């Protein structure tokens, strides 16, 4: 597995490193830790010498921070093949460019900022990476884990290939004993239609769709249970963005796994509205899975 870790020395970035302990990652992996020095506009010529000294100092700080992250990861994962990389430029653009060339299976990045209501929101760098990366992205948020409580993973299942990929991602990971998984599906009811023909057609389609999702949920349960995971299912009529975030908070989930959707005109995989909202609003880590 190839993992790209974005690190800037912030509290969120440090939380992202700690969160990797509970991400089910393999014992052996190729890991690139990237620190990005955000470039400034050129200064007035009279400041060039001073600016050069400041720039050199900032470069050393970025490299030192990335090396610090590598030391922390080596302590957590002694068998990992770790490398440190320092770059200059716009952080999101640099990370995406590195990912395009190196082709990691997963990007790990911390979320940034906190609203007055106490819910985490994505910073501009995290948001751009989540939206435009070709691979899966884990937006890591630190949590205080109660002792003797099992790891809890929530998977959004909507019948799409993306949600099936999210299930498969969890199946491929390594989880501690007693890990709990909750499969969550936001169902819907038939709206009132005045046309009898339209109502009949819609009712038929909904019945077929519900049956298809029920089959997917059953198959997912079997796959996850075969890995020794404790699986439960929640099907509820509610907006999926709201349901996933609220259920994760109520249940105390450590991470939400959701599938990404859609292909943009510029050949970048663009995130679906549900995945985007969950990654931005959830109070726990969110892994957006791209097959």
pLDDT tens, residue by residue, 239-277: 999 999 999 999 999 999 999 973 343 334 445 688 989
State the average pLDDT for the chain: 84
Indicate if the pLDDT at residue 207 is higher than 60.
yes
* Residues 10, 101 share a domain: yes
pLDDT at position 125? 86
Q: Which domain-ending residue is among 93, 122, 142?
A: 142
Global confidence as pTM: 0.84
The pLDDT tens digits of the residues spanning 110-124 come to: 987 333 333 434 568
* Residues 168, 62 share a domain: no
Indicate the number of domains in the chain: 2
* Residues 183, 120 share a domain: no
Indicate if the pLDDT at residue 202 is higher than 70.
no
Radius of gyration of the chain (CA): 21
The pLDDT tens digits of the residues spanning 185-196 come to: 998 655 555 566
| Of 178, 206, 173, 209, the residue nearest 190 (C-alpha) | 206
Please give the Cα distance from 86 to 63 (Å, whole number). Answer: 6
**CA distance readout (Å), 214 to 156, 179, 218, 257:** 13, 23, 6, 19
Q: Structure tokens of 38?
A: 């955000």
* Residues 113, 30 share a domain: yes
| Degrees, nearest 5: CA angle 288-163-122 | 25
Percent of the chain exceeding pLDDT 90 equals: 56
Spell out the alpha helix ranges (H) of the chain.
11-19, 48-76, 91-102, 124-132, 161-172, 196-226, 240-251, 273-281
Q: Structure tokens of 195?
A: 């046309």
Q: Which domain-ending residue is among 121, 142, 163?
A: 142
* Residues 245, 134 share a domain: no
Q: Structure tokens of 72?
A: 């922390």
* Residues 209, 167 share a domain: yes
Are 120 and 17 within 8 A, CB to CB? no
Who has greater pLDDT, 233 or 266?
A: 233
The domain of 285 spans 149-291
* Residues 116, 199 share a domain: no
Where residue 160 falls among pLDDT bands split at 50, 70, 90? confident
Q: Which domain-ending residue is among 107, 127, 142?
A: 142
Count of beta carbons in the 10 Å neighbourhood of residue 59: 14
Instruction: Give the N- to C-terminal CA distance of the chain in Å, as an integer.
Output: 14
| Of 113, 177, 134, the residue nearest 290 (C-alpha) | 134
Please give the Cα distance from 158 to 210 (Å, whole number). Answer: 10
* Average pLDDT, integer, range 168-195: 85
The pLDDT tens digits of the residues spanning 12-70 come to: 889 999 999 999 999 999 999 999 887 655 555 555 555 554 445 555 677 788 899 99
Residues 6+ apart with CB under 8 A from 100: 134
* Residues 280, 184 share a domain: yes
Please give the Cα distance from 33 to 156 (Å, whole number). Answer: 29
Indicate if the pLDDT at residue 227 is higher than 90.
yes
pLDDT at position 234? 97
* Residues 278, 257 share a domain: yes
* Residues 121, 91 share a domain: yes
CATH of the domain at 11: 3.40.50.620
Please give the Cα distance from 130 to 137 (Å, whole number). Answer: 6
* Residues 271, 156 share a domain: yes
* Residues 176, 95 share a domain: no
* Average pLDDT, integer, range 172-182: 97
Work out the burial of residue 73: count CB atoms within 10 Å of its CB; fewer than 13 is exposed, 13-18 middle, 19 or more buried. buried
């Amino acid at each position: 597995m190839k993992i790209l870790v974005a690190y800037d020395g912030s509290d969120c970035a440090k939380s992202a490193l700690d969160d990797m302990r509970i991400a089910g990652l393999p014992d052996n992996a190729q890991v690139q830790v990237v620190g990005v020095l955000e470039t400034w506009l050129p200064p007035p010529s009279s400041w060039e010498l001073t600016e050069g000294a400041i720039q050199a100092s900032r470069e050393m700080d970025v490299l030192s921070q990335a090396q610090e992250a590598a030391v922390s990861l080596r302590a957590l994962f002694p068998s990992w093949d770790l490398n440190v990389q320092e770059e200059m430029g716009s952080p999101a653009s640099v990370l995406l460019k590195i990912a395009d060339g190196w082709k990691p299976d997963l990007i790990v990045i911390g979320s940034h900022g906190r609203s007055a209501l106490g819910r985490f929101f994505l910073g501009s760098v995290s948001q751009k990476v989540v939206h435009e990366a070709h691979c899966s992205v884990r937006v890591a948020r630190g949590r205080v884990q109660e002792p003797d409580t099992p790891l809890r993973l929530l998977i959004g299942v909507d019948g799409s290939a993306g949600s099936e990929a999210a299930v498969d991602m969890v199946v491929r990971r390594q989880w501690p004993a007693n890990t709990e998984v909750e499969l969550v599906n936001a169902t819907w009811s038939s709206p009132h239609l005045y046309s009898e023909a339209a109502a009949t057609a819609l009712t038929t389609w909904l019945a077929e769709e519900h049956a298809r999702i029920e089959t997917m949920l059953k198959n997912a349960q079997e796959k996850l249970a075969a890995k020794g995971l404790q699986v439960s299912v929640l099907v509820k009529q509610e907006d999926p963005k709201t349901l996933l975030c609220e259920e994760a908070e109520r249940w105390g989930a450590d991470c939400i796994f959701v599938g990404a959707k859609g292909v943009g005109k510029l050949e970048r995989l663009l995130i679906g509205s549900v995945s985007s909202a969950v990654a931005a609003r959830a109070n726990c880590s969110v892994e957006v899975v791209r097959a």
